[in-house]
Every structure is written in C-alpha cells, then in structure tokens.
Amino acid sequence: MAKKVKRFVVKETQGGFTTTQTVLVDKQTGVNYLYVTSGYSGGLTVLVDALGKPIVTPVIDEE
C-alpha cells in the first residue's frame, strides 16, 4: 500500500470558541491559503499580496 503524504502544512492558527482562522501552505507549490471556520460553515481562499499575486512560502523538500 502506498504511503499517504500530507500535501498541506498548518503554518498558523488563531481564533476562539466559534471562529478559527488557519493559514495552510501547499508543500508542492508553496502557495498560502486562508481557511476560516465559523460554526458549521467555512471558506478557503488564496492569500495574495498588495499586487494581487499569491503569497508563496519557499518549499523545503522533506525527503
């Protein structure tokens, strides 16, 4: 059976009882995403800089 590899890494999480904001980093591309949950709903979006380009974190090869 193939080893399951996690593609996303949690960079930062903050929030309270009902609302949570989490920054995820794609390990393959380095693109940063913001995931927000509030109660039973949530949303995911790409984080962008002032010019509208995706925020990219340098990818470190773990293997």
Report CA-CA distances (Å) from 33 to 15, 26, 56.
16, 8, 10
Predicted structure pTM score: 0.84
Q: Is the pLDDT of residue 25 over 80?
A: yes
Per-residue pLDDT, 63? 54
Cβ proximity of 48 and 28 under 8 Å: no
Share of the chain above pLDDT 70, in %: 94
Report CA-CA distances (Å) from 12 to 4, 32, 35.
23, 11, 10
Per-residue pLDDT, 22? 96
Q: What's the chain's average pLDDT?
A: 91
Average pLDDT score over residue span 28-50? 96
